[in-house]
Amino acid sequence: MKFLECVPASHEPTDTYTVSYVEDLEQQVASFHARLHQQSFETTAQVHKGPGTVLTQNTEPNIYTELQDFNDPLNTFYLPPIHSHENTAFTFDFSYPDENLFSIAQQPATQLNNTVDPRSYTVDTSQSLEASVDATIADVSVREGASFFQTYFEIIHPRYPFLDVEECSTAYLNWKTGETKSFSDKDWSMCLLKLIIANGAILQYAWLDHTARRQRQGLDVQEQKIISDASFNPSRRIQFLLLHAFLALHGENTERVVHIVGVAMRFAILHGFHCLTNDGTHEADMKVKAWWSIYCLDKVVAITLRIPPYPPEEWVETKPSYEAKPDPQFFMPWAADIPGSSAGVLYSFDLRYFAHMCQIRRLHSEILTTMRRLPPDSRIVRLRELRAEIDGWAKSEEVFANGHLNRGGHASPLGVVYVGHMTRVLLYSSISIEAASEITDELLQACCDACATFRALQKRKHLPRHWFDMLFIFQIGVTMIYIVWRRAITVSKAVDRAIRDCTAILSIFADRSQNADMYRDCMDLLGSSVSRAAQPGNIDAESRQELAVLVSQVEENRLAPHIHSQLLDMCRDSTIDGQ
């Protein structure tokens, strides 16, 4: 089968697609939309290898308005050949590169309404499942599966509670008791099972754990069927996209994260998730949680790569779902199947942390939107106002009043402190760096605080190796060194300690990673070159040449534009530039 010719995109400095590219895209969509359902999705289930072309998130707000006349909004996305060097967009084929081997796309035929039966907890937990449904699932013992479920619900669910816990419990029990023998691969319960196991496994294992890889390779199936099937309700498809987004987030591919999160956000908007009214029903409540999970995840991407927020804040009418009321309790049957577990099988999820994070993500959106639009004489005033809001948010004492399931990770008091520091970094770096500036002083201090806090978090148990955490920390390190370099000053003890923290953080990320080592090497070279410079502000020629090579490597996996500019500045000969 022939692939459609892709239209090369030239990227503007604003990180948006050009108008001509959008027009060409629309022509392509119109020409192949009628034939899309006849195409074999199997031909696009290829592994994308190599860095490819940097993907830029489309931030044009009107492109989807123009495409809404199509019957299925998901079929409006452009699908160029994967291996083309001019490829500028990923297809809906989410086949993962070698470092992230999870994918699933089953088209569910029925919706399970089973209630969880605690009596089924007595099944022998040492058994391995027969190869009745999937060879790879059969290789996962009940104890392993229970551990993967527990990891997912300890690390991801408190921060992004978009899954129905009872539905997940039913899927787990059906798998544990062998009832999945009668299930089709198109059943939603199987989708949940495979994706939760995949997420839990990637959180537990290092990226280069070949034993885990072998066990998980069989989870690769076609995703497009479940996403493009208009008969499958939007809530399920949103959950599916979010589960894939988290797999990508704990992989090593920046482009894939940007793409999947962008698809999820636009799909949610096309289906009105941004303007929901919570009528008190379970269905409405789950939709609200799904919307805010997408919103928060989208802002993680936006603040790291400095992508203008989409949608505009004035479009968002959906209110966070938290209310001050007794938290419901859920059966967590996998907890009883973990050796040495004494936590029982009943859990309550306190949504106060989730609602608290929704507040700061909205503030992130405002910083990205308003600071660049304000006239210079108004920015400092607004910056001080936003700083006060950040300080108030970070000092909230009610979020963890009743304790929390994962007090040692991101969803913890220390995790909130870190988000406060990174928000200050975002705020201060929204204004151009001036060598002799009070704002630059505060930016440098915020960078030091963020590195120290994340290092403390990293020393605790169960902090996942989150790719965008790595990118953000790397960019903080570059900013610190750039300020010292621009000022041509000796590195202070506080900054030197922060640079060491940053390098240590990146070293842990790079410990068993294919791609993070280049960020560690770049930071190590920057730190040593600036700290040991014979004359402050000058980097020797040999170091600049090495730095240029490393910068060319890291930029292939994408950086925020201002960080890229800082790195290029430090690669130049400062004596020629007259610094």
Tens-digit pLDDT profile for residues 79-114? 222 233 333 333 333 333 333 322 223 223 333 333
Quick one: average pLDDT of 291-297? 96
DSSP 94: -
Quick one: average pLDDT of 477-505? 94
Quick one: average pLDDT of 491-509? 94
DSSP 384: H
DSSP 128: B
Burial degree of 542 (CB within 10 A; 0-12, 13-18, 19+): exposed
Quick one: average pLDDT of 129-151? 70
Q: Residue 428: its pLDDT value, please?
A: 96
Q: Residue 225: its pLDDT value, please?
A: 58
* Both structure tokens of 539: 């980097």
Position 13, amino acid: P
Read off the pLDDT band of 202 (50, 70, 90): confident
CB atoms within 10 A of CB 84: 14
Q: Residue 86: its pLDDT value, please?
A: 32
Cα radius of gyration (the chain): 24
pTM listed for this prediction: 0.75
Q: Do 201 and 148 touch, CB atoms closer than 8 A?
A: yes
CA 557 remoteness from chain centre: 15
What pairs with residue 346 in β-bridges?
A: 331
pLDDT in tens, 16-38: 444 544 555 555 555 444 444 44
DSSP 579: -
Choose between 335 and 209: higher pLDDT.
335
Gap between the Cα atoms of 257 and 261, Å rounded: 6
Q: Do 252 and 99 touch, CB atoms closer than 8 A?
A: yes
Gap between the Cα atoms of 300 and 361, Å rounded: 8
Per-range mean pLDDT, top range of 186-190, 265-269, 306-310, 551-555: 265-269
Q: Residue 536: its pLDDT value, please?
A: 78
Read off the pLDDT band of 342 (50, 70, 90): low
* Both structure tokens of 423: 């928000």
Read off the pLDDT band of 513 (50, 70, 90): confident
Dmax (CA) for the chain in angstroms is 77
Q: Do 15 and 301 touch, CB atoms closer than 8 A?
A: no
* Both structure tokens of 359: 């507040």
Where in the chain are the domains?
Answer: 1-93, 118-352, 371-571
| H or E segment and range at residue 330 | strand 329-331
Quick one: average pLDDT of 147-156? 90
* Both structure tokens of 494: 């506080």
Given a cut of 60, whether residue 324 has pLDDT beyond it is no
Given a cut of 60, whether residue 519 has pLDDT beyond it is yes
Q: Do 94 and 241 touch, CB atoms closer than 8 A?
A: no
Which of 211-215, 392-396, 481-485 is the least confident region? 211-215
* Both structure tokens of 400: 């963890």
Gap between the Cα atoms of 576 and 6, Å rounded: 42
